[in-house]
Structures are given as structure tokens and as C-alpha cells.
Amino acid sequence: MFNKKHSKPLNRIDTLIGEGTSIDGDLSFSGGMRIDGQVVGNVIALQDKPATLVLSERARITGEVRVTHLVVNGTISGPVIASEYLELQSKAKVAGDVHYKTLEIHLGAIVEGRLIHNGDTAVAQEKVVALKVSVGE
């Protein structure tokens, strides 16, 4: 229980989308990104690259969010997939299903959707299902 190792969130911000900035379209990134503005589109980390996304209380995303580490204090309308760590701070509001491995929720955070844990058991179940499919063919 105490020996589990999780990848650490990045402590640096490589990209900033400032307050008053509005982006219409999908974003893909690696490293650390902070959003204070609005994004209408998907925000997705590059595959196999560590990525941390921080949303301030003024941030708004309408679309899918798929990252390694996510800290939310703003609003997301769409599904959220945090493959390692998700922190929902007190002003966070998510309208959509939330997939996470490790979750921290502060008092006042709102989730309008399902909370779905993606732990080691989910991976094990996927392997069993894949094994049954290949044996049956």
C-alpha cells in the first residue's frame, strides 16, 4: 500500500493561456500548461509524454480533457481523463464523466457526471476480456 509509485506532476509551466484569451480548436501539449482563459475544443496531452494541466478559477474548457496530471479550479464541460492524478479544488465544476487513477476533491467542488476509477483492477479486467476474445476465435 505504501510502496505504490505514481509519477509526479510537473512543477513548471511551459505554456500559459492568459485570462481574456479564447481558443477555438483542439490543443495538444506536453510539459506543464496553465489555462486562465477559455478553450472550445479538446485539450489532450501528447501520448507517452508527462503532462500537467492547471485550470484557474477563471478557466473554461468545452471539450474533452485528457492528461496525466490535472488540477482544476475552473469549469470543464466534457469528459475528463486523468491517467495519474486529478485534483478538484473548491471552485471546480465538471459536467461530464471523470476518469481518474488518484483523486483529491476539495470541499465545494462539483461533478455532474460519473466518477470512474481506472486502477490496476481495470487494466487486469481488460486483459481478461482480451484473453477471452482471442481464445474464442
Per-residue pLDDT band for 126 (boundaries 50, 70, 90) equals: very low
Cβ-Cβ contacts under 8 Å for 75 (sequence gap 6 or more): 59, 60, 61, 92, 93, 94, 95
Instruction: Give the pTM.
Output: 0.80
Q: Coil, strand, or helix at residue 129?
A: helix
Distances (CA, A) of 65 to 61, 116, 127: 8, 15, 25
pLDDT digits (tens, 9 = 90+) for 45-99: 998 888 999 999 999 999 999 999 999 999 999 999 999 999 999 999 999 999 9
